[in-house]
Amino acid sequence: MKASGERAGASVILGCCVLALSFLLASCARAPLRIGFVGPLTGSSSAIGIGCRNGLLMALGDSPAAALGKIPKPDIIVMDDRNDPDACLEAFKELKRSGCELVVLGTPSHAATLAVPWAIANGMLVISPTISSPIAGDDSGLFIRGSLPSSAFGEALARAAVERFRALKIGIIGDSRNASYVDALYKGFALEYDRLGGKVAFDRSFDSTSGEPEAGIAELVRAKACDGLLVIAGSTDAALIAKELERSRAKVQLFLPPWPLTPDLIDNGGRAVEGAFAASTVDLSFSGAAGEAFAKAYFGEYGEKPSFTSMFGYESGAILRVALAAGSDYSPEAVKRRIHAIGSFRVLQGTIAFDAEGKVTRTMFLFTIENGAFKRID
């Protein structure tokens, strides 16, 4: 009887161990898929972060407008970096503490200067559709850049200035709060512009946190006899500058990089931004069946028109979703390998391709603002 009781006790203990192990394995299997988003949700650059966040949530959601790919419902953690390098770094540290190591970073380039190298050093995967300037850590496979280099937009705008508008004397004004982006775009523009025979009449910087970026700009444009002005700033400041030029009747052709090209540029700038010329990797007119369907779904979800950053966020979510659906290992290294292995992703407005080093190839579009809307030229 004693031996039988011992065997029975052993069976109970073994059964409890198996039950405990099964519970532990089930708990691990149910561990949430965490995806972080960091970007400016407040302040003068909030239009960038809000649009990017909204597009990401749409892509990773479960509505008919979501991107393709079957994945577990993700736990999405949204952080506001206020377009501030220290706040951006702290947001990444908080995400890491919470067990989130897959992050979409939708912030201006300068704000990411501390966060990106820290994230890469700590094994996090960073997908950024907005950072187009060189940044420490961007040569790591754990950093996936979705945008063309800032210099490419500068070069395209320089060619347009000379070849389309015969604007051979241009002033440049940029926001020092995003210095790395401004510097990279300025250099790309200036080198190509000089090669084509143009002359940069002046370059001026301002701090968007101090207000009044438009102060004295009309007088400077007149004094230097400019026939063009390149504005490298957010939408709020670009609209203020354009309205001051209009108020002062300083007629000059405006050239704009992607940064200010959100719907509120037109809403706030009104007639003053009519005729402005711009470059972007997003079709801002959302033409074609896929673009129109996205714009309609976005408006239905958020009650506003999508911006280029809305599409950026959606594209990042689509790329991430495809990579996650292609395997069961959601670690940063595994997801990175799958993104690089897949290489080319079909998105709503064309194809985004990454080479072995993670460098991106995609189409650039040119626009003007006509009758209160972005009109695609090429």
- Look at residue 225 and give its three-state secondary structure: coil
Same domain, 67 and 109: yes
Give the range of the structural domain holding residue 260, as residue numbers without chain letter.
150-280
311 located within any domain: yes
Same domain, 337 and 264: no
76 located within any domain: yes
Given 238, 264, 280, the domain boundary residue is: 280
- Look at residue 375 and give its three-state secondary structure: strand
Given 236, 261, 280, the domain boundary residue is: 280
As for how many domains the chain has, the answer is: 2
Same domain, 84 and 134: yes
In sequence order, which residues have a C-beta less than 8 Å from that of residue 264 and are 6 or more positions away? 47, 235, 236, 239
Answer with the residue of higher pLDDT: 134 or 105.
Answer: 105
Query: What's the pTM value of the predicted model, to 2 decimals?
Result: 0.81
Question: Which residue bears the tokens 């990089």?
Answer: 257
The angle that helices 288-302 and 46-60 make with each other, rounded to 10 degrees, is 100
Rg over CA atoms, the chain: 24
The whole-number average pLDDT for the span 343-366 is 86
- The rounded mean pLDDT for the chain is 90
The 10 Å Cβ neighbour count of residue 165 is 14
One-character DSSP codes across 7-38: HHHHHHHHHHHHHHHHHHHHHHHT---EEEEE
Question: What CATH number does residue 77 fall under?
Answer: 3.40.50.2300
Given 280, 312, 336, the domain boundary residue is: 280
pLDDT at residue 357, rounded to an integer: 67
Side chain identity at 118, as an amino acid letter? W
Same domain, 258 and 323: no
For residue range 236-295, what is the model confidence (pLDDT) as tens digits?
999 999 999 999 999 999 999 999 999 999 999 999 999 999 999 999 989 889 899 999
pLDDT at residue 31, rounded to an integer: 66
